[in-house]
Structure 1
Amino acid sequence: MIELKALNKLHISSFYKWLNDSESIRYSLSAFQKTNSPDEVDVWFQSVLEDTKGLNLGIFLRDSEQLIGFTGICKISRLNKSGEYFIFIGDKSQWNKGIGCEVTRLVLKIAFCEKGLNRLMLTVSEPNIGGLKAYQKAGFTPEGKLRQACFRDGAYHDKIIMSILKNEYLKSVKA
């Protein structure tokens, strides 16, 4: 259904639309909350293209090559063999189709089988029930809360910290 590939300068046009859609960015990266003008999007996107420490990939529909989102691993620690997973599906017509679960499975494989990481963590906004369920389905375990760590829709809410370890991932793919 999808494939993950490197982004290039030609892909920026999709982000202009997505980052100015309050519903698309509601529970997404904090950077997206303040990245609205074309110039701000340009600066952010250029930093993504130049990032050599993280893993930044476009989410593409396999059949049409259409870019529908962005995923990867940031804050990679070679010493601790860990990183932080993120996913953003900007194309709302692709929501609720299982794409997030498929993307997560692919990134977990990259993290543990190619990058040699031992731990992958994420934070998810507590009101994002769909995200919480999808991450648990993928094998992430809740570890704790960051209280009132997010301000969205005029209110503070908690972020849930979740992680998955390499041995848990390997067990799940063998099952």
Structure 2
Amino acid sequence: MIRLSPLQREDVAHFHRWIADSEVIDFSMSVFQTMSTLQQIDSWFAATLQDAKSLNLGIYTTDTNELIGYAGLSGISTVNQSGEYFILIGEKAFWGQGIGTAVTAQVVAIGFTRLGLNRIMLTVSEPNTGGLKAYAKAGFTVEGRMRQACLRRGSFHDKIMMSVLKSEWQH
């Protein structure tokens, strides 16, 4: 149903649409909340493609090769053998179909096998119940809570910290 592949420069047009949709970016990275112009998005995307400390993968459908989101690992530390997982499924028609769980499992596998990581962490907004379920299914364990760490739609909510260790990983 999906395949992961490096993002391409022409993929930026999808991000123009996704970032303009507040529902898509509601629980996503804070930087998306501050971008409002195509130039800001283009600059962020160009920097993302050049980021040597991140693994940035497009999520493409296998049947139509449509880009429906992106995922990967940021802040990769070779010294600490760790990184931080992220995912954005921008095409709402693909929400709730188990794609987040499948992508998470694939990126975690890449992190542990190809990148030699020992620990992969993430933070997830507490109201993002779908994300919490997908991460738990992929083997992530709750480590803690950052109280009122996120402001969206005029209200603060907690961020949940989760991680998975290579020794715990079920492959």
1:25-174 maps to which residues of 2 (within 5 A)?
25-169=25-169, 172-173=170-171
The one-letter code matched in structure 1 to 2:126 is: E
Deviations 1:126-167 (Å, cap 9, x if unpaired)?
Answer: 111111111111110000011111000110011000000001
Distance 2:20 2:51 in 1: 23
Unaligned 5+ segments in structure 2 are none
Matches of 2:149 and 2:42, distance apart in 1: 27
Count of paired positions:
171
User: How far apart, CA to CA, are the structure 1 residues paired with 2:85 and 2:21?
Assistant: 22
Answering whether residue 15 of structure 2 is matched by residue 15 of structure 1, we say yes
Counterpart residue identity of residue 156, structure 1: F
Q: Which runs of 5+ in 1 are unaligned?
A: none
Deviation at 1:53, TM superposition (A): 1.5
Give me the whole-angstrom Cα distance separating, in 2, the residues matched to 1:51 and 1:75.
Answer: 9
- Give the TM-score, by structure 1 length: 0.96
SS in 2 for 1:167: coil
Q: Find runs of 4+ consecutive structure 1 residues off by over 3 angstroms.
A: none
Sequence identity (%): 53
Q: How far is the alpha carbon of 1:49 from its aligned partner?
A: 1.0
Which string of whole-angstrom CA distances, capped at 9 and with x for unpartnered residues, describes residues 43-99 of structure 1?
110011111111001100011110000111001111110000000000101101110
CA RMSD of aligned residues (A): 0.7
2:47 counterpart letter in structure 1: S
